[in-house]
Chains A and B, each alone.
Chain A
């Protein structure tokens, strides 16, 4: 679905990403893992077209560079590490922003859109009329997730979408995503390898701006994955307990 080939990004003379290549398949969740500063956020931003980059990004065969800002937003839903919302808006106002790529410059969200936004918020356990700024950081993340879900984009690029969520909501977030995958692909930056192992179909391990390994938790052996993780996190062990792989350090 999303095909990335030889993607390189530099900040001035400093190269952050070097020839990164991978694909995201339809109906799958891919986790992007790596140590701090290895280029995960840079990769997400480059995929969104927020940073100038070399190499190709093709979505269903279409070169993403040829899309306008609006067309890109229709295809790619993005959750930043932290939203910049500083106005006194309700959760509903925030989620309605998600329909923006489908609206004309002077158009307003329709009643059906509002109903969908309210329903999505309710599914995530949030009140539509709650003031966004009074929500906890975790609830804010869920609200931004609701905004991204209503965008109905083909690819969701999520930069640490669960960093402020409790254990239940962390796993709940991926259940919500799975329930809405259908024709979509999800790439999520995660810091918790255990969460990635349990929720993602594929893991991309980034190290020093290059792809260190691509893992498939359902098919790869624990030994293969352990070796790859050791290259990122130092000495770690993977144990298989029933059907679940558990990482210990």
Chain B
């Protein structure tokens, strides 16, 4: 499929998902009711559904773009935003927030701080290797991931099994539920800035994908640029997961889907990856609140869609090889 048509069709699918997402939920909303100014419907629309839909669209777009960036920079089709420990850091931060702070905003802030700390630690450890190889960043990420997981286990051990432990587990499973607009705003602003930076740096991101020595001989200051790109992409992911909890597979799947559709790594492919991420997350969120009597964690559905797709991708690659 041609790049432009893929982008138009996916953008339309995302718009449809966003509209459906606005109207799906326990409390029924109708267009005539909203237009007539029905008080309860307006309240539900503005306080619950709108923020949830914005979070689904923006979160999915950010995860999709970040996944594309990670896979390109690390030259690894299985790279995802957690490769340098951002999700583990966010989980440990959220767990600490649930245990020691009060209020959803505080948990978001703690989770964001945890993600940021993990990334800074991973990149600082990687900086100890003066050769600046990308493999060192991956190894540092694995070390930080292990460290954050240990911290998380320690925090879980001290948590009250009836209350706090359940909250931590539910946060880790991810949900777009109950995030107020005022909590989304600063994170959304950060996400938009990061998205703009990444799109502006697309040409440089592609140059990073050719390998360290070759990129350097094309005039790229590899270590500095890679640090800037990874930090930007990770900040964006941290801004999303600190609000939503962990969202599996979106960052991994969306770039593969975009490349399958366009067969090309282009700035438009990065945009398409973001749009597909948005479609995937919105669709999973719609399922999460409509297939059962109680709301289910969104990662269950992103994983349910993602795992078979990943297997298909591997089988397809093996068959081609």
- Residues of A at the B interface (CB closer than 8 Å) are 45, 48, 50, 68-70, 72-74, 76-78, 80, 83-90, 93, 97-98, 100-101, 103, 105-106, 108, 131
Contacts and interface: CB of A to CB of B under 8 A. Distances in A.
B219 A70 contact: yes
A83 B221 CA distance: 18
Contacts of A89: 206, 264-265
Interface residues of B, number: 25
Given A97-B210, A100-B207, A78 B264 contact: no
A85 B210 contact: yes
A156 to B, nearest CB: 11
B75 interface: yes
Given A83-B214, A106-B200, A106-B201, A74 B209 contact: no
Contact of A87 (B209, B219, B221): B209
Contact of B219 (A69, A90, A108, A131): A69
Given A84-B214, A103-B203, 20 more contacts: A48-B213, A48-B217, A50-B216, A50-B217, A68-B221, A69-B220, A76-B217, A80-B213, A83-B210, A84-B209, A86-B75, A87-B206, A88-B263, A89-B264, A89-B265, A100-B207, A100-B220, A101-B218, A101-B219, A106-B200
B41 interface: no
A77 B219 CA distance: 10
A76 B221 CA distance: 15
B149 interface: no
Contacts, number: 75
Interface centre among A69, A77, A93 (most CB of B within 10 A): A69
A70 B225 CA distance: 13
A105 B204 contact: yes
Contacts of B265: 87-89
B257 interface: no
B133 interface: no
